[in-house]
Chain A
Amino acid sequence: MLLAAVPTPAPVPTQWYVALATVLFILGAMGFALRRNSLVMFMSIELMLNAANLSFVAFAREYHLAQGVVYALLVIAVAAAEVAVGLAIIIALFKLKQTVDVDDVRELRG
């Protein structure tokens, strides 16, 4: 048998993937808090969603379940819907205000 000739390698542990996902999530949260450009803030949200997907798949591999992959798939679809609506809102805002800077939109500030 061909597979028996190959020794089963010790895989990359789940902790490494979770640590990478945490680092990516931190970077996304930092970008969301730090930047004023609403487009870059949206990209930071995408970064956080991808970090969540990475940990979903890492734990799915850990427990040999396909449910994690399915929910990562659902997260991707929700992100697609969210990006479409969010970019439409940004375009409407730009038509109204000629800016994408969130600090320049302060009508609702009390």
Chain B
Amino acid sequence: MRAGSTAGFARATRWLKFPPNIMEKLAFAILGSLAVFGAVNVVFRRNPVTAALFLVTTFLALAGLFVLMGSGFLGAIQVIVYAGAIMVLFLFVIMLLNLERDPFKGFSPLRTLSSLICVILGVSALVTLVPASASGPPPVEEFGDCVTVGRVLFEDAVLPFEALSLLLLMAVVGVVVIARSRHERSASVLTSRAERAARPRSLTEVS
């Protein structure tokens, strides 16, 4: 019998003499409030570097929640890929662009209205959908370890996996095409502009 992660968490915190479910709920409360705190700061901080660092906080808290739920594999992937790779990419781009701090112009009323609509829709989803999501039997088995995930990934989900490799290849090629320096393309752009200027403009002048 494999040791369940929840039981493992209870064993690890047994020296605190708390009831184990209290400990798990305490961990959920701490990690969840940390995630929400980071998310609020991402949205409302003005400096993009600060926002990116608070996003790292949210990602690490979510990794902790994955571990708490018993999927340590996904927690490790979250730390490596999200907090490691993606956020480093973000910070590199932010520091590469070297943005000067623009004066805060205030939120436009249209954007405030649309974000209020988002909040209303989300709160209605929170009120209606969350009580409807059932709470099943208590999980004791570890459900997301490497062996199980690998088996599902290469047996059931092998087609999405292969499609994903194609998608990553397309992303690599697309990034190279987009980020190529403009000098290499300027010649062709100029000739096409000259051709366009020389062309009779009857079609564009109709309207």
Q: Which residues of chain B have C-beta atoms less than 8 A from A103's C-beta? A: 108
How many of chain B's residues have a CB under 8 angstroms from any CB in A?
97
A8-B140, A76-B82 as given contacts; A20 in contact with B35, CB under 8 Å: yes
For residue A49, give the distance in angstroms from its CB to the closest CB of chain B.
9
Question: A64 touching B139 by the CB < 8 A rule?
Answer: yes
Q: How far is the CA of A85 from the CA of B138 in the complex (A)?
A: 41
Question: A6 touching B20 by the CB < 8 A rule?
Answer: yes
Q: How far is the CA of A33 from the CA of B111 in the complex (A)?
A: 6
Q: Which residues of chain B have C-beta atoms less than 8 A from A88's C-beta? A: 174-175, 178-179
Question: A66 touching B55 by the CB < 8 A rule?
Answer: no
Most buried by A among B139, B170, B182: B139
Q: How far is the CA of A60 from the CA of B70 in the complex (A)?
A: 10
For residue B179, give the distance in angstroms from its CB to the closest CB of chain A.
5
Question: A64 touching B126 by the CB < 8 A rule?
Answer: no
Question: B178 touching A74 by the CB < 8 A rule?
Answer: no
Question: A50 touching B82 by the CB < 8 A rule?
Answer: yes
Question: B144 touching A14 by the CB < 8 A rule?
Answer: no
Task: Give residues of chain B (136-161) contacting chain A, Cβ–Cβ below 8 Å.
Answer: 136, 138-141, 143-144, 148-149, 151-153, 156-157, 160-161
Q: Which residues of chain B have C-beta atoms less than 8 A from A64's C-beta? A: 139, 141, 143
Question: A34 touching B112 by the CB < 8 A rule?
Answer: yes
Most buried by A among B97, B107, B140: B97
What 6 A-B pairs have minimum CB-CB distances, sorted nearest first?
A: A26-B122, A81-B171, A31-B43, A9-B20, A69-B144, A29-B118
Assuming A9-B23, A35-B43, what are 8 further A-B pairs, CB within 8 angstroms? A9-B21, A20-B65, A24-B58, A30-B43, A69-B144, A83-B89, A88-B179, A101-B102
* 27 examples of A-B residue contacts, CB within 8 angstroms: A9-B20, A11-B139, A12-B25, A19-B126, A20-B65, A23-B36, A23-B39, A23-B126, A31-B43, A34-B43, A39-B51, A43-B42, A43-B52, A50-B62, A53-B78, A54-B66, A57-B69, A61-B71, A61-B139, A62-B134, A73-B153, A74-B160, A81-B171, A82-B171, A83-B89, A87-B90, A91-B179
**Chain A residues close to B by CB (< 8 Å):** 3, 6-20, 22-37, 39-40, 42-44, 46-47, 50, 53-54, 57-67, 69-74, 76-85, 87-92, 94-95, 100-101, 103
